[in-house]
Each structure stands twice: as structure tokens, then as C-alpha cells.
Structure 1
Amino acid sequence: MDDEMMRRPNRRKLLILISVVFFTWLLYWNRSGLTSDSEDSWIVEGHGQSRIVPRKCVVPEWNTKNTNSIPHAAEFGHWRRQYLGGHNDMLDAESRLLSAFVYPDQISIVTTAFHTYTKEVTCLYFDCNQREIPKSRYKSYVMPLTVVSCARRAGAEFVSLKWNEDDDEEIIEDPIPLINRVYEQPAHELSVCVGPLYGDESKWLEIIEYVEHYRLMGTTMFYFTIFNMNEYDRRIIDDYERMGLAESTKYIMEYVKLGWMFHLIQTHECHYRSRFHSKWVINMDIDERLVYNGPNNFIHFMRSIPPSFSEISIASNRVLKFEDFPAKFKNEQQLLKDMTFLKYNQTTETSWYNLKGIIRPEKVALLFYHWSVRQLDDTKIMSVPKRFAYIRHYRSVDENKLNSNWRTFYNGGLTETRLEENFEKRLSSAVMKRVKYVYDRRMIRCEEIAPATFKRFERRLLDCAFKNESQILY
């Protein structure tokens, strides 16, 4: 009995000691965890006090995959040794990270520097707090052109590149976010890679005609690349993005203006942007319009293509364009006169000299402008008969424009051609509707503003004019 009574105080002391040690450890662990997370934490305030809530990365199920290699590594390695997939005549530039995409089986990072082609590089992976994921680096190389293929890493939300792994001073460009392209099925059945927009000519009407033309053919996504663009032209691309019909890539480079030779960067960036996002991609410049004369409609035709094909080649003709597009919208009557497909119809014969391609992005390895030069998994290319489909290329004859001397070398004849009548009417209506929605806007009239507002704010701050005034007050 006495022994039992003596054990009880000892047991109580042991429990107290264990509790003290446990809570001391718990306090230390919380403080050390708070210190490590304090840089990426939220301050939550309320009721006269504040508390720090550590920010944690939530990794979705699709982003839990790790890989140790990239698909078709042997083929790309062989092409790299052949120096296939680059271009020696391009301007050098600072190496910048342009965009990055995560696919089911790999990650692709698109850069802006041609001089890095075939160079070795290390892929770096970062979590949602832009902290590098430990022991995640992957060695790769630039191929094709300016693209780096990397293995996947679980939890990676940002990526970057390191060009010299042996350099003691680890200079790493700021990470850029990964764009999710991990889809079981493509989000879009038919999309368009829009050729680069460059030069001083206004683009707003040309963009609308282009987009509305291809929308009538069944496309649901447009990938734009923006080099140099004024605010008025940019407004229509912003509107298509608002509608979920477009994505745009913006170039920030040391060149004041980018010329047509940067077309290859646009081609490859759009190619990788559309992978697994679109099943088929029409690869056309802004002045090129696909015309389909086959049975049923174009979408029905594309659905009939066997899965063993990775590209559809289409011949083209040229329609002579004599004037620039208008700088701004004036009125409906003038717009009908300015629509390219109504205004111009002098057409060359259709030929395969300037063929264009419709591509399955995940089945094509290398591109050269509008067509592929290497395919994957032994896929094939189909040429569509001219009577079924062709490209109307509205080509300028202005001597100050790119390759405007093409007529000097052309010996063929010209014929009068137009779009199919019903398609032309639907296109005219669609263009008119979109132009008026985006550009036919007026300022608020002063009589539409509550009179009490004028008592509180000066009229110049309200930025309005009365209906009978001829000009706006500033």
C-alpha cells in the first residue's frame, strides 16, 4: 500500500515532465515553421488583433506527376546533331522566357533568343510561392529553334532556365507561370494560329474579317501574337479575349520593331500553345482565308480525317489588294466599301507554290512557317484537291510592302472570283455586328447625367458634351 502511494507522485511528475517537453517542442516547431513561412504568409486582421496564417501550396491532382525523360528524346537528339530545327539567318536577342506549357507528358518553355539553338540548358521548377522545388532540376537543350523541353515535376507552377550549370554565380531569369495544357481531350476541335501582326498598316478591320470568316467555318479559338500594335487595333483583340475566343502572346524585346523574320518564333510559340488545347490548328497569316467547297461543311470534313494523318496541305491563290485598310471606323456605308472580301476579286490561278497547313499539334515535331518538316509516330500528310478547298490570299501590290514585287515574277492571268454568295452575306453581317459593338461608340451626353451631379463635379471632370454641341469640352 505504501509502495503504491509512493509511485503515484513519481508517475505524476513523469507525466508533467513529458507534457512540458511536448509543449516546448510544439512551440518550437510552430515558431520555426512560422519563420520559414513568414515571407509567403497572409496577415489576417480583425477584432483588434492580427495573426499570421502561413500560405500553403494546394497541388491539384493533374499536377502530381513526375517524369524522368521527355517523349521522342532520341529523335530530337538526332535532329539536334543534324542542326535541324534552327535558323541561321535570324537576329540575335537577349534570351527571355516567353511562355511555358505543361502537357500530360512534358513541359515546354519557349524563349526569344535564336542564338541559343542546340545549347545545353537546365530546367528549374518552382512551387506556388516561386520557391525552387528541391532536387528537381532537369538537364535539357534548345530544340527546335528556341524551345526547351523539360520533364514534369509534381507541384511545379513556375519554371525558369539556367544556361550554365557550372557557373558559380547562379543567374536565373525570373520564373514564369506554367500554362495548363493537361487535357484528356482537346478543349477545341478547330483553332487558328494567326500569323504575326507587324507593319504600320491598321489591323482592326483585317482582324475582324479574319476571325469572323473562320468562326463561320467552325473555329472556336484564335491564338494571336502581338509585336507592335496601337491601342485602336488592340481593342478588338481584347474583345475577342473577353469573349473567350482568343489568347494572345505579347513580346517584350530590345527591338523597337520586329520584322517578318520573327515569324518563326510566332509559329513555334503558337504551335506549342495549341498542343493538347486544340485538335486541329489552321496555320494562316492574317491576310489568308480558307475556302471550303466540299460536301457538308468543313468541320464534318475534318472529322473524317483518319488519325494517322498529322497535317492537311492546301493550295492557294492570290487576290490583288490595292489599298490599305482604314485607320478607324467611320460609318456603316464606308465599312461596306472597305470590306476586303467585297472590295477585291482579281484572282490568280490556284497553285501549290504557297501551300498552307492545318496541323495536329501533338503529332508534329518541327515547323517551318506554315507547314511541318518533321512529324511524329510515322504520321502522314494529306493534300486536299483544289476543288474541295483552297486559300484566298489577299496580297498587297503596294511597292512599300513586304514582297510586293511578286507581280513582277507572275506570268499568269487574272480572273474575277468571289466567296460563295450566302457565306459572303453572313460574313458581311458578322463583321458589321462586331465592328459596331467594339468601335461604334459615343460619349455620354451631358443631358443623360443627373443634374445634381453637376453641382458636385465640374463639367470638365464629367467628360461629356450636350447633344447639340459640335465638340467635346476639355
Structure 2
Amino acid sequence: MTKSFYIAVIYLVVILLVLDRMNTGQLFSTGDVRAEVSRSLVDHSNVSQSRFQYNSSTSSFSSQYLINSIDRFEWYRQQMYSNLNIKKPETASNISTLYAYEFEHEITVTTTSWKRLGYRVYCRYVDRNDLEIGEPFESFTYPEYIVACKKRKGTRKIGLSVGKNGEFQPIPIVDRMLKKPKYELSMCISAIYGSEPKWLMFIEMIEHFKMQGVQHFYVHIFNASNYDLRVINDYVRTGELEVHYLIERDSRTDDRWQKVNIADCLIWSRLESKWTIFADLDERIYMTNYTGTILDYVREVKNEDVASIQFRQQWIMKTELMPEKYEGEKQIDTWMPTHRWHNSSGIGSPGHTAKCIIDSSKVFKMFIHRPTQFFPSLNRPYIQKVVNPEEGIIRHYRDQNLGSWGRKWLKGILKFGPFRNTNYPERLIGKLTENVKRRIKYVYR
């Protein structure tokens, strides 16, 4: 046998081994590293700078993103152990998936199961023929309601199970491997639940933020009346709104859905929108002395270190429930929140129940009122900019009775100063009213 013959045989064996690894669902990732995700993670505390490092090995099927020179999924595990003060994840009794999103570096699955933070789950991969690919990948729920799964070639659906060979329900995967964001400014609306009629509050909220430059809206619905759904579905029809429905398998109070909403919307908006507002149905954020819209304002943010823009809160005392159904044009002039309620608190201190506009590609963990952990930049940690009330503010039409808010929190609000009458901006109220009436007439007449 010649030397060249042996070389040819060895070469053939190597090729067959590579093909075998590909067919068994070996980890797959691309070599196109997005600037938004090629960053390390850091929280608000004084944490040493770390960086994402892309390990370009000889085979694209074994390359992966690293954090601090270790596997990113091991880094997630270390964060979970450290922040939750645990030594290993527990085994969950069940797990309910919500949505799955494919990024360049991983598939992120969001869940709805309550009290599953720090629990072990297994990622299950399914191909286009509905056949499982390879061995399950062991992962965990961290941050809360979020599971990171390694990518596998040929995956078309993904599911989660609590046991390695347990039952799972595969769900389709949303593509988030985008070259650039589709939207400059979007909004994550807090989850919709409860019995108060929402049609008018919802329309006013959408039309207000459209005037501020919001191009797309995300909302989660736990329950809503058929009457409210008529206008919600109309915004879906026009392509301005996307809806994710929440289904209960655990026992929790309605307000507990807000954290599910925030976790899913953080991932849902990531890389699809450059900036994303996180705010409630009864909140109206707008610019004050700054002569422009919110979109104009974020366009002027040139400092790439800014990952969050925080607005301070002013509470407007809402003392009645909203009307059940549309009864005519005069009713709108009377019952639009921006027309009806004016008794206003002083302005809250920085960070006090504030709301933020974030670049979700830079935020790792999100709380109701602020990010709690950032993806840092390659040079300096990301920062949060606090907007002065002279530039912008939140008018929060806060109901005094729902959730016993007045009894629980009103005394604390008094420390920010005496109450006085204030108005929604005169320069905006006419156009807002016109737009609200137009939408209502289209949907309900």
C-alpha cells in the first residue's frame, strides 16, 4: 500500500466522523457575530469588566460564544448559583412554555410556570419531520421565566421537559437572527387582566404613544372581555399590535402575571426593536420642555453606553371605573382619562416606581421598574440615564380602589409634595382626542 492510499483512508474516516456528529444534532452556531449580543454581562454593582469572546474553531458546528473565556451556559449557571445562593437547581413538578426565540448564540424559551426560578429543565429539539434531535440539553430557569437552550442544526421546534426523558410539548421558534431592528421604538404593555372595562383606556394609551413615535406594540392577555377584544383585535388587524395569550396552570393572583409579561417581552422585543418602552395601560409618558416626541428623544441618544432611559412618575388620582361600552361622542370627551382626571401628586423621586425605555439587546434581567442586570459593552459597563421632569415625565392615572392602592400607598405619595390640578399637555390633547374618536367610531359604530 502506498503512503497516499493511507492518507486518503484517514481523510475519508475523518469526513465520515464529522458527518456523523452533524446528524446526531451537534451544537450549531453561525459565525456571524452581532454587535448587540457580543457583549458580556454585568449588573448595577461594581462588577469587574467581562467580555463575550467568540471562539472560531476549525468547525463551525463546535464554535460557540464565550463569556469570560468560559461557555456562556456555564456562565449563566454561575450567575444563578451566586444570585440565588444555591448549589444546584431543583427538579420542577411541571413546566409550561410560552414562546421560543432563536438568536445567533442560543434559543431562548420563555415560560409561564410560577415559582420555578432556579429549577432544572431539559431542552428538547424537534426537526421538520417532528422527530427529536439528539440528547436533551440540561438547562434551568434563570432569569425568572427564561430558559437558555443551546442551538442544534435542523431544529424547527423546541420544547421543555422536567425530566430528561419526560413528556414535552414542542412549540415553533420565532426568528430573531435579524440584521438590524425592524423598529426604532416599540412598547411592551403590561399584562391585561381584571374586570374593569379597558376599551377606552386601551385606545387612548395606544393613540397617545403612537403620537410619541411608537411604531409597534406588544401585549400579553390573561383575560379580557369580548368588548375589549374588539378594539385589541383591530390593532392586530392593522399590524400595529402583537398579542401573546397567557394560560394558567398554577394558582396565582392576577397581578403575578406582570413578571411573566416583562420576562417574555424582554426577549420578544430583543433585536426586533432598538428601544422598547415598558409601561402600564394607565401610564402616559411624554416629553415636557423638550420640543419633540419620545422617538425624537431616543434618536438623539448617541452614547452607546446608555442601555436604559428612566422617567419619573406623577400620580393622577383616578376615582371611578371606566365605562363599559361606547355610548356616543360626548361620552369620549367626558371619559377619556386625559380629560377626566387632574388631581395630581408631586413628582416621585428618581427610581420610585419609575418606568424605563430600554435597549433590550443590552439588558439581561428586567424588573417592573428598571433593569437589574445589563449586558456590558466592550469598553465600559452600560448605564441608565434618568430623565429630569423638565425633559419628560409619566402621568399615571392610578385608580384609588383597584388593589386597594389608595389605602396602601397614598400616604407615601404625599411626601413628594402637595396635590394640585395638572393637565395633559394642551399641545397634544386635541389631536389625541381626534385620533381616539376616529378609532372608536370605526370599531364600535
Identify the TM-score tier after normalising by the shorter chain: 0.7 to 0.9
Bigger Cα Rg = 1
CA distance 1:253–1:71, shift in 2 (3 Å): farther
Aligned to 1:359: 358
Rounded Cα–Cα distance in structure 2 between residues aligned with 1:239 and 1:153:
38
Matches within 5 A, 1:166-315: 170-254=165-249, 258-293=253-288, 294-305=290-301, 306-315=303-312
Return 92-101 or 418-427, whichever deviates more. 92-101
Report the Cα distance in structure 2 between the residues aligned to 1:188 and 1:424, rounded to whole angstroms.
Answer: 26
Q: What displacement does 1:235 show?
A: 1.4
Q: How far apart are the structure 2 equivalents of 1:94 and 1:205?
A: 38
Cα–Cα, structure 1 residues 256 and 337, in superposed 2: closer, same or farther, change >3 Å? farther
Distance in 1 separating the partners of 2:422 and 2:150: 51
1:230–1:129 Cα change, 3 Å: farther
User: What does residue 384 of structure 1 align with?
Assistant: 387
1:98 paired with 2:106, answer no
Contact 1:161 1:173 in 2 (8 A): yes
Separation in 2, partners of 1:225, 1:422: 31
* 2-structure distance, mates of 1:223, 1:140: 27
Q: Specify which of 400, 403, 417 is matched with residue 405 of structure 2.
A: 403
CA distance in 2, matches of 1:407, 1:373: 26
Q: What are the residue-to-residue correspondences of 1:69-80 with 2, within 5 Å?
A: 69=64, 72=67, 73=72, 75-80=75-80
2:114–2:250 CA contact under 8 A, matched in 1: no
Conservation of the 8 A alpha-carbon contact between 1:136 and 1:153: no
Q: Please tell me the residue identity of whatever aligns with 1:413.
A: P
Say if 1:197 and 1:228, in contact at 8 Å, map to a contact too.
yes
- Could you tell me the percent identity over the aligned residues? 27
Distance in 2 between the 1:367 and 1:241 partners? 26
- Residue 223 of structure 2 aligns to a residue whose secondary structure is coil
Hey, what's the Cα distance between the residues in 1 that align with 2:85 and 2:359? 18
Secondary structure of the corresponding residue to residue 316 of structure 2: strand
Answer whether contact 2:94 2:161 (CA < 8 A) is retained: no
Match of 2:10 in 1: none
Aligned partners of 2:94, 2:195: CA distance in 1, in Å?
25
Report how far residue 354 of structure 1 moved.
1.8
Normalised by the length of structure 2, the TM-score is: 0.78
**Number of the residue aligned with 2:113:** 113
CA distance in 2, matches of 1:261, 1:69: 35
Q: Which has the higher contact order (CA 8 A, sep 6+)?
A: 2
- Give the count of matched residue pairs: 367
Alignment partners' CA distance in 2, 1:182 and 1:152: 13
Contact 1:101 1:107 in 2 (8 A): yes
- Structure 1 runs of 4+ off > 3 angstroms? 65-72, 83-86, 254-258
Cα distance in 2 between the residues matched to 1:339 and 1:376: 40
Moved more, 258-267 or 77-86: 77-86
* Native 8 Å contact 1:110 1:269 kept in 2: yes
Amino acid across the alignment from 1:300: D
- Structure 1: distance between partners of 2:199 and 2:252: 19
Structure 2: distance between partners of 1:75 and 1:394: 42
C-alpha distance in structure 2 between counterparts of 1:150 and 1:265, whole Å: 19
Change (3 A) 1:146 1:310: same
Residue 153 of structure 2 aligns to a residue whose secondary structure is coil
Contact 2:345/2:420 (<8 A) preserved = yes
Quick one: which amino acid aligns to residue 404 of structure 1? G
Deviations 1:210-243 (A, max 9, x none): 1110000000111111001111111111111111
Distance 2:85 2:312 in 1: 24
Q: Secondary structure at the match of 2:158?
A: strand
2:381 equivalent to 1:374: no
Distance 1:206 1:71 in 2: 45
- The match for 1:426 is 431
Partner of 2:28: none
Are the counterparts in 1 of residues 286 and 293 from structure 2 also a CA contact under 8 Å? no
> Could you tell me which residue of structure 1 aligns to residue 122 of structure 2?
122
SS in 2 for 1:131: coil
- CA apart distance, 1:247: 0.9
Alignment of 1:337-356 (within 5 A): 337-352=334-349, 353-356=352-355
Query: For residues 217 and 85 of structure 1, what CA distance do their matches in structure 2 show?
Result: 43
